[in-house]
Chain A
Amino acid sequence: MQIDLSVKNVTKKFEDFIAVDNVAFEVPDGQFFSILGPSGCGKTTLLRMIAGLTEPTEGSIEIRGQSMLGIPPNKRPVNLIFQHLALFPMMNVGENIAFGLKRRGDRKAAIKEKVGTILERVDLIGFGDKKIDQLSGGQKQRVAIARCLVLEPAVLLLDEPLGALDLKLREQMKVELKKLQAKVGTTFVYITHDQSEALVMSDHVAVMNRGVFEQIDTPQVLYNSPETPFVAQFVGDNNAWSGRVRECKDTRAEIETTEGPVFLTTVGEYLQPGAEVDLFLRPEAMLIQPDPSLSDLNRFEVIVKDILFDGANSRLLAHPLDADTELLIALPQTRQFDYIKKNDKIEIGWDQQSGICFSRSQKKS
């Protein structure tokens, strides 16, 4: 497999502030690669370095095996889709798309043909003469993508392009963007702070925090086996418990939480008894009123504080009997739990396999 983009130990410093700290990754041809992180984690700086708009302080960037050091953005085989798209308002849709081709010196007939083909590909046939301000948000999005794709870049960089759209359109564009990427086969590097965007669209996701990559993996692995507490909390929702190891045999540990309940859970490595740990538990890992016949469950009682109804994504807000830690518990909308009311006492159970445990010393942040 050909490697389209290879970032080698790149660091970017702004005076005393380290925006990107020794980041390295590779993106193979045709992959949809996302960089997910909270705002201010350095992901935009990283993207701008790949595009050539900023130079790295240390390290190098290679595109299809060629070093990009000192090569200005107009000579790089990558294109960037800006957060606010940056379509040229002084030109119509066709001129916007032809802009890059003209700069490259393509012949007029060839330009016309390519613009027509790409407009068809993004479902905007006949929009060539429209002005930019006549387009809807989603159409602008597609023009911005077409304007870059028509140049057949080795890598297409996307800087949170869905951020400005309303929720409904964003959901729709997510699916559309993924389909488009599969159709054209261009390598996409997508940055976002929205974990759902990253999880839905990407083949691989890198989670970035404070200038470093915490984990690079497929969305499934990121969600099910996060490697750091940050990833566990940032990707998807998680309930956090802090506690202390009582006993550990092979990969099974008994953990006494500071709130009281004692849990048995599987752990990745042997933990010293007495070690302080953080235990993470997904809302959907907790079963409401589990069947008494099920063994291997950690069982405890909680009091329902509130019901957060959100369709298929409904949750219970609850707290353990004699503690006030808030817990989010998934509430399946199968009508089975319709009897649950505020201030009810219910039993919760979770499988020992589904807890994720980190010893405190591992914690980076």
Chain B
Amino acid sequence: MNDISESYRRFLEGDDSGLTEIIRECRDGLILYINLYVGNVHTAEELAEDTFVKLFIKKPKDKGGSSFRTWLYTIGRNTAIDYLRKNRSRNTVSSEELSELAADEEQLESACIKEERRRTVREAMKRLNPDYYRALWLVYFEDFDMKSAAKILGRTVHATQTLVYRARLALKEELEKEGFEYENL
């Protein structure tokens, strides 16, 4: 049983510190993932909060392994897509808010991605097709296995493998443009 599962077990038994621990461990990554859909880190923060509320209300039975995080990210993705559907004509933001958004996103990334080289990779990923970006994020930054990533993305495992292969190819091209040696990743 991993740490998150242990925290979740304690939350189910009435210990609220378990919930706090889960949010400490998972919040920033979830916000960054939702941000890949909504493109606004403040909105992503609100939707991540909604995601946690949904999960803690439902209290699904944890089977150990990576299932808890898989649920969390699946619900996070669903919540993000719901938001996009309800807000098709996206709100415009002022230039001041744009600067604040960028600063908050950078701060969040710095907290999540300590290694400089991984930050470079993430910068290159931002230029990819969003489907590629999301798949790579789950597999390489959140360490989901292919089956879990497929569940989160709502695709078959094979389709996800194909997506990740193609994404890696596209990422390689992006990195090579910057003289980055992909094989050293």
Chain A complexes with chain B: no
Taking beta carbons and an 8 Å cutoff, which residues of A are in contact with B? none
